Chain A
């Protein structure tokens, strides 16, 4: 006999005497809002259980599952007595109906383990806010701190919450969109109304295509085309035709970054620009692959979820490369507005940069750590122009057996979707990413934000890799932007496919067939399974609690047919879908901007400037972030992101030895400097490549085995000047990749990074991230950047020029200048080759590249990381004769430079190894706790205690 279904509310909270970190964090954020009326915050977890449970059984669930006997208390059916004394306000936060709740699923499992049954669980958080916030303050706190309106709803007071709010039923109806014979204006309206992000020319092409067939498209056909043709998926700007001041560039990517790779013809490049990640050779048994992507717009609206699904998404790239690579390292680079920006300067609709930063960092932390992938490398940059449109670059390296790098689906293979269920989260993500953000984005685009569940993805990855080794499938790809539409469309491009949409497992009912097809719900992969292997693979997935469902079959007539409950709802020719997008011609122009040339006065003491740069947001220690990331899981770490005598100095490239027991390694680094792009995007791109490469060199990587990734984040490239700067940057990518023999193996672009307020837009500064991956022959020969021993000789390697344009030194006075660092590739090549060899011969004790802040900052970082002083002289620093300014020698950011520590006994061998390369001894390591630098006239121009330099560097982000 079926028992009666009951509703129970269980509340759990920490006992009074225990510190409540979540309550405390909320309190901190409330104070950051400038609200003083709240004295304390406590968090109560709420579980709403529905099912045939008796009071006694719920008691058992609460005691054995939901509450910890030592430090928590629970209350069933009535509000928890307040753990603290005093008046308090109550805000309850629950996910909106239909938004995935992983804790609810786990709670159901836990209840089943107790031998009981519940039918549904809804979880929420109840905040007790002590003190006397006003009604207005309470609303502000609720909106800005406690809940995110994109995915959650807030309730005020001790009100009852619906246990299982109804999601409307879906009534099947095949829908057509009237396209035939409508006006251009109407075409544009349709594009906008359906968030298709298609141009008039593209809409006309679709109109003609269907006119030829004498019918209107169905909604799913139109959506499918829009996803496939989105900038995000097809990179139509970079692959289109560009008229650059009269010069026609047919496919910018092909004529720059791809071209360098194909001309370099490196035998160790295994698969470039065709799979989800680029693959290069690692050792006799394995290859490695690398991909970096951006997740900017979702992170602007919902920083935690946006960043988490950003890392989750890029992890699925290596997992969907070849027949599946094991993810082994994450790298993350963020660009935010300054965390101390006054609230009055935050445009309406944008979140405060500090909130964005905290959310992004915790999103990456929670997803990356749960996946068990070390986050071992990264960077964070700040500029006011990122306020409305932050950049979140997430990268992942994978390792894959050499015989698993090729894949091909075949006619008759079954289309199997594995992993998470499909929901309404992430609808229109691919097309949304092509639209500028506005103050209304938060409300209108909430559906475009995906919700992550790292453990689901971990399960999927664990199982996929087993299935790969058992050879149970023939092809795989990830379900990313565009959802099933993109994944199946891509895998079936040369085959065709039949898909039965009602078979796709759903998180909840109510989704239309078109929503199922384009949903970007996370943690899903699509595999092609030969029918005879189906039974074995379904058993394997079931054994790991991962859902795997056959949703269709690959065909051989290159037609895509979509069905819902037996009715055909769409049919498209793969040829039109993949090659029908019209190629547009865009205009591009570029003139380098002229800034005022600063003329700083010579000073007696450059200590304050040095401390100022060390304490700037870009340069300061990122330890607060790095420590929150597990950077050692998988046991492969060789050079950690924090190095030195106190494990807190800023390491250059990260090095891992991914095959346990082997000493072969890879080094991963990045180069990025948008400040240079304001002056000259060509110099910015060249410098970014130089920076990424020199970091690999400074740890001991091989110069002849470095591969690069490009990630262009730009403003609206329909504007000719924005596109012009992109062309210049791409041209530098070609030139430098060729010169350094470092091929690009993969890349991505994110355009339209602009934030609109009223009739004004704020474009981000053109930002190119170059990521580099290099081979390390024997990790035991690696060096770190911290100074090692008093008495050792310090060499400046490379030439210092008067190149203070875009420097941190000028930024101290809010100046930009014009003499941006350029790259002299012939010299750079000679330096990198010689230095890399010297490190492998064991002639170098420590090595640090000179980047932001120049030689002085490099010296300071080496000194305090090693806990040792330095006596240095600017006089011998290699430089052109005309450079006779101490400030330029100290702070110029010229490329291809290193500060290198050599033992006195190895000086001769070191100099011999670097013969022909500009270098000079510029001083020694000392046991004094002072960094002392003498200027050109012999007088002391910097004399700073290590502790004070380190404090200046650590203080800003000691949150």
Chain B
């Protein structure tokens, strides 16, 4: 669908990034122009990032997750692209980090984005696991989870998405957790199959504190989540489509559409 005002998305990649193609595809599906750009290009050419309204950090194992997951790319953003990221934030642009991208945002201090720090650590199960989870979006400021226009229906708050990670357990101090609640930064929680709060493993797949699956910063414009919305955009990606029939689109599409609509209304 052609749009007069094209929203440009930079899908950041580096050695070990591996969900960049499908993340770019998900943005394209909702009408954005998505480009996969190597981090080296942003380091080489200051100002390159200014041409985009959305920065997406996809999943993968950036730099092999050596030392700690997401750590090396996080430090690259922090120390090599400090000014670019600061400017991007100041202009109110959107950043989403998925899985490894979430780990990067947290380790770069962009999330929670306050004086408190959090981390993502080894799953309680002690291993990498690929499984589908139920999620509920709470009363947060996160622009990725709210349609830019119109009221939110109850079903819009629920998502069924896969996780695939070994280090997704969200951990933060009690002060940080209180702040996350108070400042409406708790974006996504793991729930049970019928929406039950605070579920046990495997519904909380990694043992995250307070079943936190994703958070946003105090502005709601920087969002990180462990589940993979880009892996549920087509109806045939649902693990039970052969039982329940094909939906119109996968649950993950809404997250990308909300972001692009928000950008179209506020950023160009």
Does chain A have a CB within 8 A of B71?
yes
A-contact bits for B40-84, CB 8 A (1 contact / 0 none): 110000000000000000011101101110011001100110000
Closest A residue to B68 using CB positions: A68
Q: Are B237 and A643 in contact (CB under 8 A)?
A: no
Does chain B have a CB within 8 A of A243?
no
Which size class do B's interface residues fall under?
35 or more
In the complex, what's the smallest C-beta–C-beta distance from A346 to chain B, in angstroms?
25
Among candidates B16, B40, B66, B123, residue contacting A543 with C-beta atoms closer than 8 Å: B40
In the complex, what's the smallest C-beta–C-beta distance from A328 to chain B, in angstroms?
10
Q: How many positions in chain A have a CB within 8 Å of any CB in the partner chain?
A: 70
In the complex, what's the smallest C-beta–C-beta distance from B187 to chain A, in angstroms?
19
Evaluate whether A786 and B243 lie within 8 angstroms (CB atoms) in the complex, with A21-B126, A114-B79, A627-B129 already known: yes
Task: For B80, list chain A residues within 8 Å (CB).
Answer: 113
Task: For B219, list chain A residues within 8 Å (CB).
Answer: none
CA distance A327 to B76 in the complex (A): 28
In the complex, what's the smallest C-beta–C-beta distance from A394 to chain B, in angstroms?
18
Task: For B122, list chain A residues within 8 Å (CB).
Answer: 19, 21
Q: Are B236 and A657 in contact (CB under 8 A)?
A: yes
Stretch of B18-26, B85-93, B142-150 on the interface side: B18-26
CA distance A369 to B61 in the complex (A): 8
Does chain A have a CB within 8 A of B231?
yes
B-contact bits for A208-219, CB 8 A (1 contact / 0 none): 000000000000
Task: For A175, list chain B residues within 8 Å (CB).
Answer: none
Task: For A663, list chain B residues within 8 Å (CB).
Answer: 236
Among candidates B21, B128, B240, residue contacting A634 with C-beta atoms closer than 8 Å: B21
B-contact bits for A48-70, CB 8 A (1 contact / 0 none): 00000000000000001110111
Task: For A545, list chain B residues within 8 Å (CB).
Answer: 15, 40
Among candidates A115, A370, A784, residue contacting B79 with C-beta atoms closer than 8 Å: A115
Task: For A643, list chain B residues within 8 Å (CB).
Answer: 239-240, 242
Closest A residue to B242 using CB positions: A784
B-contact bits for A602-638, CB 8 A (1 contact / 0 none): 0000000000000000000000001111111111011
> Could you tell me which B residues sit within 8 Å of A by CB distance?
13, 15-19, 21-22, 25, 29, 38, 40-41, 59-61, 63-64, 66-68, 71-72, 75-76, 79-80, 107, 117-119, 121-124, 126-132, 162, 164, 171-173, 228, 230-231, 233-234, 236-237, 239-240, 242-243, 246
Evaluate whether A458 and B237 lie within 8 angstroms (CB atoms) in the complex, with A634-B22, A780-B246 already known: no
Q: Are A454 and B64 in contact (CB under 8 A)?
A: yes
Task: For A639, list chain B residues within 8 Å (CB).
Answer: 242
Task: For B236, list chain A residues within 8 Å (CB).
Answer: 638, 657, 663, 779-780
Among candidates B15, B123, B124, B173, residue contacting A459 with C-beta atoms closer than 8 Å: B15
Stretch of A31-39, A103-111, A575-583, A849-857 on the interface side: A103-111
Closest B residue to A101 using CB positions: B66
Evaluate whether A25 and B126 lie within 8 angstroms (CB atoms) in the complex, with A110-B67, A110-B71, A114-B79 already known: yes
Majority-rule SS of B interface residues: mixed
In the complex, what's the smallest C-beta–C-beta distance from B203 to chain A, in angstroms?
12
A and B contact pairs by CB, cutoff 8 A, 29 listed: A14-B121, A21-B122, A21-B126, A70-B172, A106-B63, A110-B67, A113-B72, A369-B61, A369-B128, A454-B64, A455-B61, A458-B15, A458-B18, A462-B13, A544-B15, A544-B38, A545-B40, A628-B130, A631-B130, A634-B22, A635-B237, A637-B231, A638-B236, A647-B132, A647-B240, A660-B234, A661-B234, A782-B242, A784-B243
Task: For B243, list chain A residues within 8 Å (CB).
Answer: 644-645, 784, 786, 788, 866
Does chain B have a CB within 8 A of A371?
yes
Among candidates B22, B67, B117, B118, residue contacting A103 with C-beta atoms closer than 8 Å: B67
Task: For B25, list chain A residues within 8 Å (CB).
Answer: 635, 660-661
Does chain B have a CB within 8 A of A71?
yes
CA distance A109 to B75 in the complex (A): 10
Q: Are B164 and A370 in contact (CB under 8 A)?
A: no
Task: For A21, list chain B residues within 8 Å (CB).
Answer: 122-123, 126-127
Pairs of residues from A and B, 4 with the lowest C-beta to C-beta distance, nearest first:
A372-B18, A635-B22, A106-B66, A21-B126
> Could you tell me which A residues sit within 8 Å of B by CB distance?
14, 18-19, 21, 24-25, 64-66, 68-71, 102-103, 105-107, 109-110, 113-115, 365, 369-372, 453-456, 458-459, 462, 543-545, 626-635, 637-640, 642-645, 647, 657, 660-661, 663, 779-780, 782-784, 786, 788, 846, 866
CA distance A631 to B132 in the complex (A): 12
CA distance A454 to B17 in the complex (A): 12
Name which of B63, B131, B228 has the most chain A CB atoms within 10 A of its CB. B63
Closest B residue to A45 using CB positions: B67
Closest A residue to B15 using CB positions: A459
Q: Are B242 and A783 in contact (CB under 8 A)?
A: yes
Name which of A70, A115, A453, A638 has the most chain B CB atoms within 10 A of its CB. A70
Among candidates A102, A635, A657, A780, residue contacting B66 with C-beta atoms closer than 8 Å: A102
CA distance A931 to B122 in the complex (A): 40
In the complex, what's the smallest C-beta–C-beta distance from B226 to chain A, in angstroms?
13
Task: For A71, list chain B residues within 8 Å (CB).
Answer: 119, 121, 171
Q: Are B63 and A113 in contact (CB under 8 A)?
A: no
Closest B residue to A28 using CB positions: B126
Known: A634-B22, A786-B242. 15 other contacts (CB 8 A): A19-B124, A21-B122, A109-B72, A114-B75, A369-B128, A372-B19, A454-B16, A455-B15, A544-B38, A545-B15, A630-B130, A632-B130, A634-B21, A647-B239, A784-B243
